[in-house]
Homo-oligomer: A and B are copies of this chain.
């Protein structure tokens, strides 16, 4: 049976509706996602406890290295056994410390309409960060500038399913590295009124971000309201370094959440075993989560990880592979077992261009993290080439993919079930629904219509210029940027931020750091 699908001729009403749909771009942010999907839990209760027990054994018997004198002293005071740089954490102490991490909290944006909940079934999509290259509006791969960063912050602002502008989506190479965090943070704050992330590249940089948050929101406000997120990567296996721990303290002291993210290359810095990798990663995450509570009891904190597996053929990190999906399912179970919100990475992949590999990798990962029930869904737009570049084309496509995943996670809509069934009676065998009033009233919400997928016939597609998705996406990005309107910062706060940046740029030596490799 040939299942080719004939193109359906829509009525004039459909064409008119099409024009209307195209003329208004809805950039209103979708509310924070409440994921209604039953989650994919691949471990039974005994297996969850087996991972927990293995992780606790690791923490007690092997211990975790904290390469930081302040942290070691903190741990001694908290009652841990410290031998050299190695901290042995008793399972009772770990459980006691992580118990005070809030299971859910609300992120505050400078536009309160863009506040979002995190934890439990509440989730957010956050763009990729950290790319030393971009593929730009002409798909040219090059080092980024502050203008490029601003462009990505604008695109984040205009993408309904992205809940954050993140921070250094791309590295602005035209500004000294030692001062870059100031301009990055300001760009996030200025170009969007969604929430954003805070740089953790050094303890001092993290302090600067906290000061800027205090200027934007008020010192007292941030002490009781999460307004940003830092990321602290661990060095697997079982090491946390001074830079990350110092940055972590800067955030925790101001009551701002950090992602406690072991950096896992499965098979290279963890065992060649899915459950054992999860056990090690879990021990690492718990050790940092516990430390956040040593710094400040009750401070929000997020169970993190960066996760790829390593090809033993080439040594390269891999994404979109089955074990990454399985580990996401398992890590989600562990985070829920401990009652802590968790972060994952979305749309990862190693493709060098925006080819089909990139599509498979990203969609596979997006699907997995939705079924895993992740809360802080980072790297949700633009990631390519193992994070080495952020692609403008991929950014806008990924953002639409997130909107589709969001729709899926809302589950079926039953509100009009009875009237829709009445349409079945009206239409009867052999009829069609295109002209039925129920269809006319509901088509816009019933079935998601992606802007960036071309589903026309090949003849129509050829008549439209035979554009593959990269070209269509770049056109969409240009169109969005042409329509961008800046959500203006309050003038006094803006001035205070600029004054702060000016002062700090006078204080921080810049000369030898320009264009340094990051």
- Whether A466 lies near B271 (C-beta < 8 A) is no
Given A200-B1, A452-B357, are A430 and B323 also a contact pair (CB < 8 Å)? Answer: no
The complex places the Cα of A458 from the Cα of B387 at a distance, in Å, of 12
Interface members, chain A 58-83 (any B CB < 8 Å): 58, 61-65
- Whether B274 lies near A446 (C-beta < 8 A) is yes
Cβ contacts under 8 Å, A356 to chain B: 354-356, 358-359, 394, 397, 468-470
| Interface size, chain A (Cβ < 8 Å) | 161
Interface members, chain A 137-187 (any B CB < 8 Å): 141, 171
Q: Is A498 positioned at the interface, with any CB of B under 8 Å from its CB?
A: no
Contact of A432 among B268, B430, B439 (CB under 8 A): B268
Q: Is A363 positioned at the interface, with any CB of B under 8 Å from its CB?
A: yes
- Whether B40 lies near A417 (C-beta < 8 A) is no
Contact of A371 among B8, B312, B371 (CB under 8 A): B371
Contact of A267 among B231, B277, B364, B446 (CB under 8 A): B446
Q: Shortest distance in angstroms between A357's beta carbon and chain B's nearest beta carbon?
A: 4
- Considering the complex, give the chain B residue whose CB is closest to the CB of A401: B360
Contact with B along A414-451 (1 / 0, CB 8 A): 10110011011101111111101011011110111110
Q: Is A265 positioned at the interface, with any CB of B under 8 Å from its CB?
A: yes
- Whether A385 lies near B312 (C-beta < 8 A) is no
Q: Is A54 positioned at the interface, with any CB of B under 8 Å from its CB?
A: yes
Given A271-B424, A271-B439, A394-B356, are A321 and B5 also a contact pair (CB < 8 Å)? Answer: no
Contact of A5 among B9, B231, B386, B412 (CB under 8 A): B386
Cβ contacts under 8 Å, A257 to chain B: none
Given A267-B446, A315-B10, are A274 and B413 also a contact pair (CB < 8 Å)? Answer: yes
Cβ contacts under 8 Å, A171 to chain B: 2
Interface members, chain A 312-361 (any B CB < 8 Å): 312-323, 325-326, 330, 349-361
Cβ contacts under 8 Å, A458 to chain B: 141, 352, 385, 388
The complex places the Cα of A456 from the Cα of B353 at a distance, in Å, of 12
Contact with B along A467-498 (1 / 0, CB 8 A): 01110000000000000000000000000000
Given A63-B429, A235-B430, are A371 and B40 also a contact pair (CB < 8 Å)? Answer: yes
Q: Is A270 positioned at the interface, with any CB of B under 8 Å from its CB?
A: yes
Which of A8, A36, A277, A309 has the most chain B CB within a 10 Å cutoff? A8
Given A7-B316, A235-B430, A414-B275, are A321 and B448 also a contact pair (CB < 8 Å)? Answer: yes
Contact with B along A362-405 (1 / 0, CB 8 A): 11101110010000000100000111100000100100010011
Cβ contacts under 8 Å, A63 to chain B: 429
The complex places the Cα of A442 from the Cα of B366 at a distance, in Å, of 28
- Whether A312 lies near B10 (C-beta < 8 A) is yes
Q: Shortest distance in angstroms between A130's beta carbon and chain B's nearest beta carbon?
A: 4
- Whether B274 lies near A412 (C-beta < 8 A) is yes
- Whether A272 lies near B130 (C-beta < 8 A) is no
- Whether A306 lies near B38 (C-beta < 8 A) is no
- Considering the complex, give the chain B residue whose CB is closest to the CB of A9: B315
The complex places the Cα of A367 from the Cα of B37 at a distance, in Å, of 14
- Whether B42 lies near A36 (C-beta < 8 A) is yes
Cβ contacts under 8 Å, A353 to chain B: 468
The complex places the Cα of A239 from the Cα of B432 at a distance, in Å, of 12
Cβ contacts under 8 Å, A454 to chain B: 350-352, 357
Q: Is A457 positioned at the interface, with any CB of B under 8 Å from its CB?
A: yes
- Whether A130 lies near B3 (C-beta < 8 A) is yes
Q: Is A29 positioned at the interface, with any CB of B under 8 Å from its CB?
A: no
Give 26 CB contacts A-B under 8 Å: A2-B171, A3-B306, A5-B308, A5-B386, A17-B312, A18-B313, A37-B40, A237-B432, A237-B433, A266-B447, A273-B446, A275-B414, A279-B417, A279-B421, A316-B457, A317-B455, A320-B453, A321-B404, A321-B448, A321-B450, A325-B408, A351-B453, A352-B458, A356-B468, A356-B470, A361-B363
Question: Across chains A and B, which 10 residue pairs bring their CB atoms closest together, nearest first?
Answer: A359-B359, A276-B420, A273-B420, A363-B363, A350-B455, A367-B367, A322-B408, A316-B455, A238-B429, A356-B359
